[in-house]
Amino acid sequence: MIKDLVIGMAGSGGDGIVSAGESLVSACAAVGYHAMMTKSFGSQIRGGESSCRVRMATSPVLNPGGALHVAIALNWEDFLKFGAELPVDGDTVVIYESKTGVAPDALPLVGVSPSEVFSVPIGDMARKATGSDRGKNTVVLGLLAGWFGIGGEAIINGIRKKFAKKGTELIEANEKAFAMGVEYAEANPLKKSRRMEPPTRTGQKMLTDGNDICAAAAIFAGCDFFGGYPITPSTEVMQFFTREVWKYGGAVLQAEDEIAGIGAALGASFGGKKAMTATSGPGVSLKTEIMGLASIAEIPLVIVNVQRGGPSTGIPTKAEQSDLFQAVFSAHGDVVRPVLAPTGVSDTFDITVEAFNIAEYYQTPVVVLSDQEIAQRKEVIDVIDTSRFTIVNRLLPTASDLESYDRFRLTPSGISPISHPGMKGGNYLGSGIEHNEHGDPTASGRIHEHMNEKRIHKFDRLRKRDDLFRIEGDPNAPLALIGWGSVAGTCREALALATAEGLRVKLLVPYMLFPINEGVYRRFFKTIKAGLVVEQSYLGQFYHVLRMNLDVPSGIKPFCRSGSNPFHPSEIVRKLHDHALDLQQNGAAARQPQE
């Protein structure tokens, strides 16, 4: 029996590939497996290819996994379009639609000989059971249940729940399609059993994705206004708000464009409300000017950027980590803008709450860098314990402050009380022009210097927040890994594999990417001789941000690539082995006597 299984599926739009993945991951959650589902689409507005990966295990799942254990192709042309996202190797069981006309010994998998190959009449079985091709995904679920022992009863219950409002006839047809898949698998057994070991997980869990939990966290943090515009892959954040925030007295404005969306959110925050907008890279490009206004007017605002492949329209449906430069540097003038990043679905809740706390305390725009993988993947996670959170609200002026109110008063901390319209004595001009302490416009170089100092040095306390970083592994290790965002889960698994192979490695995961906490990195680098900054960005953007702000050991190198080319834990381990060998050889060379 096996403890870890990675399944990848691909087909055309309408084949129900993603629906099958969602049914599968829901069944895994119901019976007690740890599980994660990622999905990927072509960039076409309608139609085109779609795929999903489901990884299930008896222990916590940190990333979507490496090469597939099971590959399902309803259409070879569509399957091959996903390339490195659905890698097949010599241990993969390949299941494909026999109507493709491809012989089992002539698969279009150049250079790869899968472990086992099954040509299955999936479409014929679906039509026989349901009268149409729409049942192909249910046949696939039956095949998986039959061959790998994955949650058969839970899948049946999911089918009944899914089609409950569409009548018993449709339910019975899909149950028949599922049973046909199971029967086919039982009649054509695998040469080597790969049935999943029964789950041992206990305790209540929940199944959700990054976009939904981001919106839920924002509402929990007190956000009662969302202004935005739909854009892939962030749209579900706005959709969740639209469904839920009115229950808590909040409001949503779907604006005519990205600029109006952030403008409305900033206006709501100026009016005393906690406010948020969500978008992707192209939307942030349009929002940048108003983000600058929020910085100079010192107005709290949370901006979620669900990163996708860029530049320009780029690859809207794929994950990438290439908007870091944009988040940190896309501002005219001298601006420090806090940038946070979750590493998975569960900590998206934590990071979103933290973003609101930082925005409110420091009276600043805060950028949360999620990405398509985290935002749209479904994970089985622990139920969120909301009692562990402290909610921070902005500093309001006291009665004595309002007797002669200076909105931008210079204080030792750089934080000055912020009023809102309707607060007697609290009127002030909140504009994008430089101002004195009262808020009056000025062209004075001396005052501009003081205000820049106020706006930048108010983050000194934030720069010392060690709790926004995680260090794992051997504290005295000479080898390092640094990974942020969705890549961090892959690095965590790589750390475990490398340690098991005898390598001395430690991992740094930053949840705050900017401003830079020099103390954390100095302490981490103290023992380091070599290592990797792993990121899904061709330029290695975080590596360069670190180099701009720190003395990074010369042995630390970027390990980076563009989106749609995911990292696998094993290749990171191989790179670490190479670094360890170099250290050994260099050390031996240094010990050689000089002639």
Torsion-angle region of 371 (φ positive above 0: left; ψ -120 to 50: alpha; else: beta): beta
* Low-confidence residues of the chain: pLDDT under 70: 44-47, 588-595
Q: What is the pLDDT of residue 45?
A: 59
SS3 category, 175? helix
| Cα–Cα–Cα angle for 315, 320, 324, rounded to 5 degrees | 120
pTM of the model: 0.94
Tens digit of pLDDT for each residue in 93-147? 999 999 999 999 999 998 999 999 999 999 999 999 988 888 899 999 999 999 9
Gap between the Cα atoms of 30 and 148, Å rounded: 16
Q: What is the pLDDT of residue 586?
A: 82
Gap between the Cα atoms of 529 and 425, Å rounded: 59
Gap between the Cα atoms of 138 and 17, Å rounded: 10
| Cα–Cα–Cα angle for 573, 590, 527, rounded to 5 degrees | 50
Q: What class has domain 469-591?
A: alpha beta
Query: Which CATH number applies to 207-388: 3.40.50.970, 3.30.70.100, 3.40.50.300, 3.40.50.1820?
Result: 3.40.50.970
Q: What is the pLDDT of residue 570?
A: 95
Q: What is the pLDDT of residue 44?
A: 64
SS3 category, 366? strand
Domains 4-187 and 469-591 share a fold: no
Q: What is the pLDDT of residue 158?
A: 84
19 in Cβ contact with 137 (< 8 Å) = yes
Under 8 Å CB-to-CB from 384, ≥6 apart: which residues? 206, 213, 346, 349
What is the domain partition of the chain in residue ranges? Answer: 4-187, 207-388, 395-460, 469-591
Q: What is the pLDDT of residue 159?
A: 83
Query: What is the phi/psi pair of residue 178, to 5°?
Result: -60, -45
Tens digit of pLDDT for each residue in 141-193? 999 999 999 878 888 888 888 887 788 888 898 899 999 999 999 999 999 88
CA distance from start to end of the chain = 60
Query: Which CATH number applies to 4-187: 3.40.50.980, 3.40.920.10, 3.90.1150.10, 3.60.150.10?
Result: 3.40.920.10
470 in Cβ contact with 509 (< 8 Å) = yes
Q: What is the pLDDT of residue 46?
A: 59
